Every structure is written in C-alpha cells, then in structure tokens.
A and B are shown apart, each in its own frame.
Chain A
Amino acid sequence: MIELEHVTKRYGAACAVADVSLTIGAGEFCAVMGGSGAGKSTMLKMINQLIAHSEGTIRVDGQDVRAMAPAALRRRMGYVIQSIGLFPHWTVARNIGTVPELLGWAASQARDRAAALLEQLKLPPGEFLDKYPHQLSIGQQQRVGIARALAADQDILLMDEPFGALDPITRQALQAEIAEIQRASRKTIVFVTHDMDEALRLASRIAVMDRSRLVQLGTPIELLTAPKTDFVRNLVGRDDLGIKLLGIALVASRMRPGEAAPGEPIAATASLRQALSRMVAEGRDRLPVAGADGAPAGTLHLGDLLRR
C-alpha cells in the first residue's frame, strides 16, 4: 500500500506537485495521467525518493519513506523508465539480475530467474541472456527493462511512461504483457502515462493531474461518465466517448450465454470495442463468443452494446 498525505514538492517558488493526497491499495493498478509538466513524474519519483518531497508524508506499507535508507526503500519496488536505462556494459542476464545481485542472491539463482522472466516476456532466454543491450531493438530493450524491474519480485512496481518511446504495435504487445503480469501477480502498480487509452485499458483507478494538482481520482468508468473538470472532460474526449466506454468493457459482460451463432468467434476477453469493430467490418449484427478454452460460450448482439 502506498499513501500520500498532503504531499507538496516545491522548486523555489514554483510548485511541481501541490497538496496531493492519494492512497493506492495493495494489488491496485493505478495510472497517473496528465499533460507534460503536470507533476505526474515528480509524484512517482517521490514515492521512491528519487525526488525528496517538500511537505507532507509518504508511507509505503505503513512506513514513512523518510525513515528508510533510500537504497533500501528503492529495493522494495521495481522501477521502469521511459528511457529504459539498461546498463550498456552488462549482458541482458546481468541487467535483469541487478537487484537480485544487490540483495545478495547466488549468481546461478539470479540467472535462472532472468531466464524465467525472459521466457515470460517472450524473449527466448537461450538467445537473449548473453546479448548486450545495443544488440536489441527498443521494444526488446524495454522488455528487458521490465524483466529487470520484476526480478526480485517485490510487491510494488513503479513505471514512469514505460511505453512512451515504443511504436504502437510494440506498445500494445507490452500493454498486454503488463496487464497479464498484474493479473497473475496482483502487484501494486503505479503507472505514469500521458496516453488516456493506455490508462483506460490497464488501470483499475486513474489519478488525473493538471497543473501540479490531483483533479480527479476514479475508476475508468467514473472518469468517462462523470468527469469532474473540463480538463478531464477534454482528456477523455467527447467525440469518441462511446467508443472509449466500449473499450473498457469485456465481451463476457454483455454476451448471451448458451446462444449459438454462425461465423468466426470472438474471445470472451476481447473488449466490446473490438466486437463492434468486427460487426461493422463484417456487416453482421451478432457474433459467436468463444470461452478461454476456445469452446462456444454464447452470442453477442449489436443491441447488447447499448445496455448499461
């Protein structure tokens, strides 16, 4: 659990973060949204004290971060940054093993862990363990960056615009990976982004920052249906609000179980937005739905998309 109480960061007369109070519960995926200069990165870096806060209190699992040695505090949480920052003179295996090594793991244990994480992030360990960062594409580098942050398997993961430098295809693939990791491990994730679709897709709660202040904190559906300020309203977009709403709901939530329909099935875990897209593209008003095992699970009708 991460708690911020009336946290302020001043640089001289300027205020980067103004009086933010926020509690991020264990296992929560919290996205911090906002434009550039809104203070979202500063807020994240105050949690691991890369930036010291000027006022207020920050607690991690009930402990005041100021009471802990900075290095010890940071070793309790994974950290991923937009510029990736792999150590260029170390192999992929050693990069991933950074925190295990700091924690005094045996070398073989750290290497096994690195191999397992590469496997999980879809980079064949045999091929990648002994490569150097410059031999990897940017997308592969960020996969290694994520593996490095997960290596010691801490409960908390801080991510500072982790996918900002990636092309759209790699970005979507990595979004899926991180969503899967969170589903499987129930980590507490704080995720800074300026991409609303990314936040809506991944987060269980979204904190919107505007000019140093926290202007709204809510679930994706709350943000879409009840934006508190004009800034949030602009951020979630007026034109494609309906599409965004469809994007955060799953096919499984609206389908009619047991009913059968002809055609190529859509996965129950796909979003309603994907379902609508298929209906429009294929000119059909219903789609068969397949469960996790691939067996027919039901049917989704066009009208079902309008139900609340």
Chain B
Amino acid sequence: MCAWSLSFAWVKMRLYLNFGLGGNGMASVRLSHIYKIYPGSEQPAVVDFDLEIKDKEFLVLVGPSGCGKSTTLRMIAGLEEISKGELYIGDRLVNDVAPKDRDIAMVFQSYALYPHMNVYQNMAFGLKLRKFKKAEIDARVREAARILDIEHLLDRKPKALSGGQRQRVALGRAIVREPQVFLMDEPLSNLDAKLRVQMRAEIAKLHKRLETTVVYVTHDQTEAMTMGDRIVIMKDGYIQQAASPTEVYSNPKNLFVAGFIGSPAMNFINGELFEEGGNVSFKAPGLHLTIPEGKAKILRDKGYVGKEVILGVRPEDIHQEPIFLEASPASVVNALIEVAENLGHEMYLYLNGIGTQTTIARVDGRAGLTEGTNVKLAIDMNKIHIFDKDTEEAVFYNATA
C-alpha cells in the first residue's frame, strides 16, 4: 500500500470512528416538511418547514420571539423531537440519531460552561471524549483561544469570567470540534456592542476558513444581513421567505418580511389605485403618485386597479436632493418634519402629512433640515412595493429574481 493511500485510509477510519460517518462527509442539512407540535398546544410551533441548507452554507434563521426559529434549530440539534417530517444531515436520516452522533456543535445562549473545569479544559473536553491526541487537542484549543482572544484566560475557572468571556469560551468549545455543522442560537447576545461587531466578523471569517455549514439563529437583522449567505424569515412557525440578504431586502415576498427586514423599517401607506389619463396612480391622504409603466402593467394585469392596497417605501427611497426632486416631479410630496434625528452621516426624518401615519425618510446628515419645518421630498417610484391588503402578499414579488 503506498503512502498516500495509507494516509487516506487513516483519515477515513478516523472520520468513521470519531463521527460515525460512513458517507461522503457532505454537510448539507435537509428539513423535509418538518412540524413541531408540543403536547397540549393547539398551535404548532413549527409548520411544514421545508428547506435544504447547502453544504458550507451560512444560513440565518430570523424572526420575532416565538416564531419557531429556536425550536427549528433545536430539532436539527436533536434536542427536540420532530413531530412530523424528516431531517437529513448529509445523506443520513437523523430523526432518531442522538445529538452526539450528528457531528454537530452547538453554541446556545443558555449553554453553560463546565464550572469545575478551567477554560482550557472546557474547550478540550469534547476532543478528549473523542480520544484526540493530546498534541492535537492542545493545538486546536490554543488556535481557537487565539481567534477568540481568550489566550490569557485559559487557566481561569468560568466563575472568574465575565458574561462576554463565557460566551467566547462556549464558542471556542464548538470551534475546536471542527464539526460538519455549527448550530448557533443567539451566540453573541451577551456581548457588548463593540465585541459583538468584532465577533460577527470573526465568525464569518471562521466559516470561510473551516468551510463548515452554519445554521445561525438571531433576532438581530444586522447579524442576519451581514453574516448569512441566505436568510430564512419566520413568523408563527411558518417560513415567510428564504433568500439571500439582498433578495429579502429588495424583493420581499410579503408585508411581514418587508417590515421585518430593514432599519428603520419600510413605510407602509394605505391607499387606492386608480386609472388616470392612461396612467395608474396611487392616492392616499396627502399623496398622489404616478406608478411607473412597468409596475402599472403588472397592477393592471393582476386586477389591482380600482382596489385598496398598501404601498411600501423604504426610508432611503425618499429623497430630498434638488436634483432628484427635479427629475421626479410626479412623486414629489410635502411633509412636516416632526422629529429629525441626526446620526452624523445620515439623518432620520419623522414626517407628518404622507398618508395617515408617521413616515420616516433617511437623508444626508448634512442636509441641514430642522424639526417643525416643511420639506419637499420625492419618492423613488421604481423602488416602491405594493401589497395586497387582504393576503399581504407583495404584488411585484418575483420568485425567480
């Protein structure tokens, strides 16, 4: 037997012995029509969750509290039984496989450290259990500690660590395992803002370096947008939309997704569509807008003209620059600035007079606008969204975009 085939056999054997892997080691995760129904509960916590997470993908589950995102992650981890449906990791059906045999590593917000072990031992424990050689354990622990900037804490007991340091150790405990799939549930929630941004970047870098599939649960849309290859937005146990960050932002499937992603949130204005001089117009209190021809055609074709709808416009698509006002005379509106929040590089204007509710515009921080004054603004009509008032589905949503 030549040297390379010997070493290949060794690697294959070790994979088998350590992780129970008999297949090709692909770490896609397939959730096929998964349901979670708790005993005694009338409403299922997760409903018909059907999604394939690709090998090496960074998938983020996001949604309001109680939407089922953590339950979904716990089912992938094997900590919750699946009421209905099938779960595959790679080619293996794992519905009845214990968490330890799934080749996953978990970092949960509530995950405790082992109090009687120091940081080094905490991180090394999983490897020791899997009978890794001491030298390899040492190398992995020190490398993870370096990445997480906790090298100086290796001898400390968890009790002597701050919340943020504990969270980093928990992350380190997962990293050293180098698993096929990382499962993370709000892993950065205990960190301060600065560390959070730093760790966000570190996790993203780590994902690229380890080439591992990551399923990440967060309530924080900034984390979702910046870290995920794909975002799954959930509400009441249902997937609302699963797409890339750009896609969910610019092409939301429904009113919920449109309102959930983006900060400040998208503005929603109730109004009516009608035909006017060969154009389709949108009318609401203080607002009279002409819809661009491409969008108007879709509205006509789908029978929305003459009906009440909801118009959505993101704060950054409402402009105050003179050049934009000149170029878009059909979408100019007048509004009163109730509040002006200047963040330096940008300014949020809380406006009265567009529709019946407060509308927010994001303009240049140097615009020099003040509270209590009237302002002329123009809406970028090519960026507007129209939602069905009953189904709340986006009329212009293009599934193939």
Are chains A and B native binding partners rather than an unrelated pairing?
Answer: no
Interface residues of A (CB under 8 A from B): none
Which residue numbers of B lie inside 8 Å of A, CB to CB?
none
